[in-house]
Amino acid sequence: MLWVSRGNYMAVKAGDENNRTAMYKAREDYTADLMAIGAQPFDLFIYYWRDEPDESLNGRLDGILSGFHLNDTLILQVPAFIRPLNLKLLIIKIHEAYHGKVIGLVHDYYPLWNIAAAKEDTDSDPWLDQFSYRTYPALFSMFDGLIVHSEPYKQAIQKELNFKGPIVTQGPFSYHLAPNTDISEPHFEKKLVFAGNINKSNYLDKVPNSWHLDIFGKKPEGNILEQGSVVYKGSYPPTELPNHFDGGFGLVWDSDSFDQVTGESANYSRISYEHKLSLYLVKRMPVFIWKNAAPAKWVTENHLGFAVENLADIWPIIENLTEDDYREMQKNLVHVSNLIRDGAFAKHAALEAVLAVNEPYNKW
């Protein structure tokens, strides 16, 4: 039997009265995808009790493993935001008491993202501290297999951990909409759309006046809205957000500056698939992406958008596009939108990983 971890995200999101955070959406969608193909939910309560007594933890583990059977497989979404020791003992118990397998579905491996902070973290306890960078190599080495964003991510993990088990690449994350929601066709407009954390995207302050940029997210601070080229469109729940995009091109970009691609998040984009890529594609919007980002080749080979060296390269391309060009791209975008909404990439990678950990490793 296959299991997939499920967190109590509704309780965690209780402080977000409008349910507009997308922080847990990829996790919720992933659980739903695997349950759709027969996986059972493996409920993990998100809490942190650094000094939880052994008796309490053992009772908790017995409870969450009550339905687990011999030789079952668990796909555990990580990071899990709980005390790492709990996960260590969970994996040991699955291995020793149930002869089962545990696969890590990697949303983020933070030492590959926040490289400087990870190097400076020399004193944290990898098993007791909730946000220790030292947890990652210790915990991930316990998994029987991993599912990661991309081939570059796989190579980085192998270099970081010398991981010997199978590592499967997934590609784009799923993006579910509210039930019975239709996707309206985007209109051809010579504009860009940005959705996400506006205040952390420093390059937005330098957008040229020649651009037309719609931005979605928490209302920004500073003077970004004083720019005539930028229009703030508001904040919406993640399942509703795509249908507030009326057209144009999605912007998938991480950088601390406009003129050059700089910063740790930019470097991380070389290996990662951003969730916002799926957000734009589920709406059938072509995207602009940095040419060195992990999804760039996939985007261009499937005619889903354009990969460019710098932000300054974008507008000349948009200026030369026609409505016929936009409509031609819709043929592939419709297909990929359906795959992302249906969770096809997640399901395929999960089943491949389950087969891999339950067979000899030599072909992976």
DSSP letter, residue 93: H
Asked if residues 230 and 224 have their Cβ atoms less than 8 Å apart, the reply is yes
User: CA-CA distance, 234 to 21, in Å (whole number)?
Assistant: 13
Asked if residues 246 and 227 have their Cβ atoms less than 8 Å apart, the reply is no
Q: What is the pLDDT of residues 88-118, one digit of tens each?
A: 999 999 999 999 999 999 999 999 999 999 9
Average pLDDT rounded to a whole number, residues 282-300: 98
Predicted model pTM: 0.94
Average pLDDT rounded to a whole number, residues 314-335: 97
Q: What is the pLDDT of residues 12-23, one digit of tens each?
A: 555 555 555 678
Position 225 scores a pLDDT of 84
Asked if residues 285 and 330 have their Cβ atoms less than 8 Å apart, the reply is no
List the Cα angle 263/264/269 in 5-degree steps.
100
The pLDDT confidence band at residue 363, using thresholds 50, 70 and 90, is: very low
